[in-house]
Amino acid sequence: MRVVSLVPSLTEAVAVSVPGVLAGATDWCSHPADLDVVRIGGTKNPDIDAVLRLGPDLVVANEEENREPDLAALREAGIEVLVTEVRDVPGAFRELDRVLAACGARGRPRWLDEAETAWEGRPAPARRTTAIVPVWRRPWMVLGRDTFAGDVLARLGVDNVYAGHEERYPRLPLTELTAAAPDLVVLPDEPYRFTADDGPESFPGVPCALVDGRLLTWYGPSLAEAPARLGEALRAAVS
């Protein structure tokens, strides 16, 4: 079995669960740290010829991360493409089971059981907080409806102000974001790398939680530690 992954989350999940099957991954696939495979470009602009040269039995992709024309080109070349759809935490577990089985995993990995237990065993939040969650600036873009990261936050007691927006990632002017008067601004370090010096200054007087984007947006081994570590960062910001 030879697999090419076009999704960083899935790359990590496959690499640690089915060692040796990954033949290629994107330039953005940063985990595991010692991953040694052929790089085939970005998630939005993979080098299709480079993927084909690797002769994969399967390419794993995601409906949000990857572009349909690229996936169609792979299918037209005779490559099997498995496309995941992850909009919430339970969906992440279902899709991870599907991907790992397709990649030849012999049973469910321990980290996946531990991750599911970590989320299922988490107590209900004592109180709820409203937040906006920028994922880009210049222009500002925030989490909207029906996103995995939004569901992660909701399960930790943080309600996305724009969860009911008609768009999944609306672009909104900063004046509108500040006028929303959230309890909290959640600033991940990816896809835009928000830092203490780049982001919080735009929301004076509002607590800002700088969080690890991998814990917020990746569905893979990081799911096991995400509830505790994200919860701690969110509580610290509003305490």
Whether the pLDDT of residue 204 is over 90: the answer is: yes
Q: If you count them, how many residues does the chain have? A: 239
Specify the pTM: 0.94
* Cα–Cα distance for residue pair 48/55, rounded to 1 Å: 11
Sign of CA dihedral 132, 182, 150, 129: positive
* Cα–Cα distance for residue pair 117/181, rounded to 1 Å: 35
User: Which pLDDT band holds residue 238 (cuts at 50, 70, 90)?
Assistant: confident
CB contact at 8 A, 185 and 132: yes
Question: pLDDT tens across 77-100, in order?
Answer: 999 999 999 999 999 999 999 999
Helices 148-155 + 226-238 axis angle, to 10: 70
Kindly tell me the burial class for residue 66, based on how many C-beta atoms sit within 10 Å of its own C-beta (0-12, 13-18, 19 or more): buried
| N-term to C-term CA, the chain | 50
Question: pLDDT tens across 30-51, in order?
Answer: 999 999 999 999 999 999 999 9
* Cα–Cα distance for residue pair 116/112, rounded to 1 Å: 6
